[in-house]
Amino acid sequence: MTMYQQQSSHWGLFSAARKPGGLDVIPDPDDPNPAPLLRNVPAALDERLRVRTPHVRRGWLEGGSAERGDDEYLPISWSEAIGLAAGELDRVRTTYGNEAIYGGSYGWGSAGRFHHAQSQVHRFLNVIGGYTRSVQTYSLGAARPLLRHVVGNDDPISKATAWPVLAEHTEHFVCFGGIPEKNSQVNSGGVSRHEVAGHLRRARARGAWFTLISPLRDDLAPELDARWLAPVPGTDTALMLALSYVLIDRGWHDEEFLRTHCVGFDQFRRYLFGAADGIAKSPQWAEQVCGIDAAVIVGLAESMATRRTMVTLSWSLQRARYGEQPLWAGIALACVLGQIGLPGGGFGHGYGATAGVGARRLPYRLPTLPQGVNPVREFIPVARVADMLLHPGEEYDYDGERRRYPDIRLVYWAGGNPFHHHQDLARLTEAFRRPDTVIVHEPFWTATARHADIVFPATTTLERNDLGCAKEDRALVAMRQVTPPLGQARSDFEIFAALAGKLGVEQEFTEGRDEWGWLAHLYEQWRREASDPGLDFQQFWELGRLELPAEPDDQVLYEQFRADPAAHPLATPSGRIELFSERIDSFGYADCPGHPTWLVPEELQIQPGSGDFPLFLVANNPATRLHSQLDHGATSTSAKIHGREPVRMHPTDAVVRGLSTGDLVRVTSATGSVLAAVVISCSVRPGVVQLSTGAWYDPSAPGVATCIHGNPNALTRDVGTSRLAQGCTGQLTRVQVRRFIETLPPLKAHEPPTEGPTGTAVSTDSPT
């Protein structure tokens, strides 16, 4: 009889069994709305694309870094690979100090508390003396630093008003960037029940209104009957400022809330009415900037003032140049409305960005692998990785500090794909050629694995046992091994244990435990500390799942602060919401002044319809996979055309180019070019094209395009949001689209790299 085993992923719970025809995956029966991404899971065992044995890059063995990203790989034995990697780690730390090791290793990895790649890599590097780390994320690069100044912490993300409250009370959802259901399929760590779509439907059935403000119509589900306003991409700040202007100008603002709960309203009002720059941020002004009718802006402001309104701000808004501004202007707009702290009113940041925002949270710690202490103080804001590698010693600004990039000699990555997530991938290739050595753990031959010198084959969750849960979920599940490790793959833990052994610190790293020992230890420790469910580890494992008590469903963001701001101050310098921040102002950053400001991003300085790059490209998160994970899976590949990523465009833009759905095109920007296939759609604003992230980077035909598969990060600019946050700006760029009529080069991204002969003798003396 076939044995199905329970497993978990960032996009849902499932059971799986290996059958002669492949892996059979069954969604969890308790999930009301399982994610289509589950159909990608069988590709995890696709042997062609799995790294099955340790590999070393030929050029590295010969002492070179120039070919990184375009080289042959030699399969080697585990003992050779461990010897080479340990030797190189030791050489770098002794010669240059541990800060010369970059272990930022950003990435989502897989669900599972013990085999969490980030925790494993950080724990190992700490045990061997530390590493240069990264701070912040690609998801919320601008938001987190800004929120600290404006509201004191990230409660708008981690403690957003709960979905059931919105479903019951909100009368008007004003959704900047939408609430895209595709993104609410996922949650970092797992999601046992997909409920966001159901909450939205309940609100609509009760009569709630929805206004969608986005260049993409499908950023809100069609059944919500939203009014769609499609401003010029990147101009939401101007629209928000004009809405605040109307509310104040007509006396519809909440003077009392602004006086008692905010600081800086006077400076903000003066700016809105043009005292500083002579420009009133009126609806007529905004119409010129965003292309939304002034009368529509006035009507929207009136509707917001007369209904319980939730201003929702997507994470994508801040993933662009000056990305701090739309978030700050949106918070200011909610302050002007004065509904913050009321059920169903105020603002939220990232509803729909993951299933976790607005979900109930667990009021205690999860079972967590301890990472130890990093003795190295050096760090970079995560999206500045290429700058760091290319410009060691150079100074840069970050959140009020003047900092200097460290000189990195060794890059260590496990659980992320920078050749998916970073911007300007050709520049990243150049940057990756700088260090002496790059070591990567990957289950698959991704572009990151192909830019490494030593590649360790990592197992997937299907080949391991683990504990599955997330802070915003209610289930703790046994993730049970479905199949033995593929080829010679080992878990990240086993790889680090072997390296630690070679470097003489095995006991410090493993504490004498194997996988099973750690799972039992983490569970029992959590049981003692958090909430004793009564079951010991063996009983839990046999049962397979615990429903965890969570916070109540009625959480309203800032309810207590509204009731009594003196007794429940925010963690800002003033204790209130800062519409003007003296601290930010004191930094003197022209790209992030002391109050929400309309700053014209470079993308808008090219006139629409003219120049070499007349179209806006929205490079959003994909509907058919999580980031770049399992790009070769069934859901992901079924959306590709001629094997290339689809780029959506409006019929009017297609007609002038003579394009039809299915045509191959070359998309070019000032940064690079990609091949993609056109899909004509009225769901994108005229003048806008949309190409999702996640197609595996394929630079194998540079004479044809920077990426012949359709990875938009070959087109995006590698520049920070501002000197305040230095977040990533991958969401928006300017492009041209032209029919591609040359011979289509074959896709190499979904093939393994060229392999040298097995058994090639390698010297265990590591090169420098």
Of positions 731, 736, 753, 767, contacts ligand PGD by CB under 6 A: 731
Q: Which is nearer to ligand PGD, 587 or 613 (CB)?
A: 613
| CA atoms within 13 A of residue 406's CA, in its CB half-sphere | 25
Size of the residue set binding ligand PGD (CB under 6 A): 35
- The encoded tokens of residue 148 equal 């600290």
Binding span for ligand PGD by CB under 6 A among 102-110, 265-273, 632-640, 736-744: 102-110
Q: Which is nearer to ligand PGD, 138 or 228 (CB)?
A: 138
Binding span for ligand PGD by CB under 6 A among 110-118, 389-397, 599-607, 698-706: 110-118
Of positions 446, 465, 581, 722, contacts ligand PGD by CB under 6 A: 446
Q: Does 712 bind ligand PGD (CB under 6 A)?
A: yes
Q: Which is nearer to ligand PGD, 211 or 620 (CB)?
A: 620
Q: Does 636 bind ligand PGD (CB under 6 A)?
A: no
> Rounded to whole angstroms, how far apart are CA atoms 294 and 311?
19
Helices (H), 411-514: 418-421, 425-432, 492-502, 506-510
Binding span for ligand PGD by CB under 6 A among 108-116, 479-487, 527-535, 589-597: 108-116
Residues 711 and 645 sit within 8 Å (Cβ to Cβ): yes
Q: Which is nearer to ligand PGD, 329 or 630 (CB)?
A: 630
Q: Does 185 bind ligand PGD (CB under 6 A)?
A: no
CB of 628 to ligand PGD, least distance (A): 3
Residue the block writes with tokens 């008590």? 549
Active-site position among 106, 351, 413, 526: 106
Active-site position among 60, 102, 108, 245: 108
Long-range Cβ contact pairs of 653-657 (< 8 A, separation 24 or more) = 653/615, 653/686, 653/687, 653/689, 653/737, 654/678, 654/680, 657/737, 657/738, 657/739
Q: Which is nearer to ligand PGD, 37 or 334 (CB)?
A: 37
Of positions 730, 752, 753, 756, contacts ligand PGD by CB under 6 A: 730
Residues 327 and 157 sit within 8 Å (Cβ to Cβ): no
Q: Does 698 bind ligand PGD (CB under 6 A)?
A: no
Binding span for ligand PGD by CB under 6 A among 240-248, 424-432, 709-717, 744-752: 709-717
Amino acid at 13: L
CB of 484 to ligand PGD, least distance (A): 16
Q: Does 496 bind ligand PGD (CB under 6 A)?
A: no
> Rounded to whole angstroms, how far apart are CA atoms 50 and 42?
12
Of positions 110, 325, 510, 636, contacts ligand PGD by CB under 6 A: 110
Q: Does 627 bind ligand PGD (CB under 6 A)?
A: yes
Q: Does 107 bind ligand PGD (CB under 6 A)?
A: yes
Binding span for ligand PGD by CB under 6 A among 337-345, 440-448, 466-474, 501-509: 440-448
* Strands 172-176, 133-135: pairing kind: unpaired
- State the CB neighbour count (10 A cutoff) for residue 204: 18
Amino acid at 40: N
For residues 596-625, which are near ligand PGD according to CB under 6 A?
619-621
Residues 147 and 430 sit within 8 Å (Cβ to Cβ): no
Provide the terminal-to-terminal Cα distance of the chain, rounded to the nearest Å: 54
- State the CB neighbour count (10 A cutoff) for residue 483: 16
Nearest to 710 by CA among 673, 740, 662: 673
Burial of 664 (0-12, 13-18, 19+ CB in 10 A): middle
Nearest to 367 by CA among 164, 202, 519: 519
Q: Does 233 bind ligand PGD (CB under 6 A)?
A: no
Of positions 51, 117, 674, 707, contacts ligand PGD by CB under 6 A: 117
Site map 416..435 versus ligand PGD, x via CB under 6 A: xx--xx--------------
Nearest to 540 by CA among 645, 474, 483, 467: 467
Residues 428 and 386 sit within 8 Å (Cβ to Cβ): yes
Of positions 492, 653, 663, 718, contacts ligand PGD by CB under 6 A: 492
Beta-bridged to residue 441, according to DSSP, are 414, 456
Q: Does 716 bind ligand PGD (CB under 6 A)?
A: yes
For residues 378-417, which are near ligand PGD according to CB under 6 A?
414-417
- The encoded tokens of residue 515 equal 């996988």
Q: How many helices, marked H, and strands, marked E, lie in the chain?
A: 25, 29
- The encoded tokens of residue 242 equal 């004009």
Residue the block writes with tokens 């990555």? 413
Sheet order of strands, 209-213 included: 227-229, 209-213, 172-176, 309-313, 346-349
Nearest to 133 by CA among 105, 106, 104, 98: 104
CB of 283 to ligand PGD, least distance (A): 30
CB of 416 to ligand PGD, least distance (A): 4
Q: Which is nearer to ligand PGD, 325 or 339 (CB)?
A: 325
Nearest to 546 by CA among 563, 556, 531, 566: 531
SS3 of residue 538 by DSSP = helix
Residues 463 and 482 sit within 8 Å (Cβ to Cβ): yes
How many Å separate Cα 518 from the centre of its chain? Answer: 29
Beta-bridged to residue 57, according to DSSP, are 73
The residue at minimum Cβ distance from ligand PGD is 730
Q: Which is nearer to ligand PGD, 244 or 620 (CB)?
A: 620
Of positions 69, 103, 109, 145, contacts ligand PGD by CB under 6 A: 109
Q: Which is nearer to ligand PGD, 367 or 593 (CB)?
A: 367
Beta-bridged to residue 395, according to DSSP, are 404
Q: Judge whether 102 counts as a catalytic residue.
A: no
Of positions 151, 241, 458, 724, contacts ligand PGD by CB under 6 A: 458
CB of 442 to ligand PGD, least distance (A): 5
Q: Judge whether 106 counts as a catalytic residue.
A: yes
SS3 of residue 704 by DSSP = coil
Of positions 237, 597, 713, 736, contacts ligand PGD by CB under 6 A: 713
* Alpha-carbon dihedral 398, 399, 402, 403, rounded to 10 degrees: -50
Beta-bridged to residue 738, according to DSSP, are 666
- The encoded tokens of residue 342 equal 């009321």
Phi-psi region at 664: left, alpha or beta (left = phi > 0; alpha = psi -120 to 50):
beta
CB of 90 to ligand PGD, least distance (A): 22
Q: Which is nearer to ligand PGD, 310 or 626 (CB)?
A: 626
Q: Which is nearer to ligand PGD, 117 or 408 (CB)?
A: 117
For residues 132-151, which are near ligand PGD according to CB under 6 A?
138-139
Residues 37 and 624 sit within 8 Å (Cβ to Cβ): yes
* Alpha-carbon dihedral 389, 393, 396, 398, rounded to 10 degrees: 80
CB of 178 to ligand PGD, least distance (A): 13
Q: Which is nearer to ligand PGD, 267 or 711 (CB)?
A: 711
Site map 304..343 versus ligand PGD, x via CB under 6 A: ---------------x------------------------
Amino acid at 265: F
CB of 413 to ligand PGD, least distance (A): 8
Site map 666..685 versus ligand PGD, x via CB under 6 A: --------------------
User: Which residues bind to ligand PGD, rule: CB under 6 A?
Assistant: 107-110, 115, 117, 138-139, 319, 414-417, 420-421, 441-444, 446, 458, 492, 619-621, 626-629, 693, 712-713, 716, 730-731
Active site residues: 106, 108
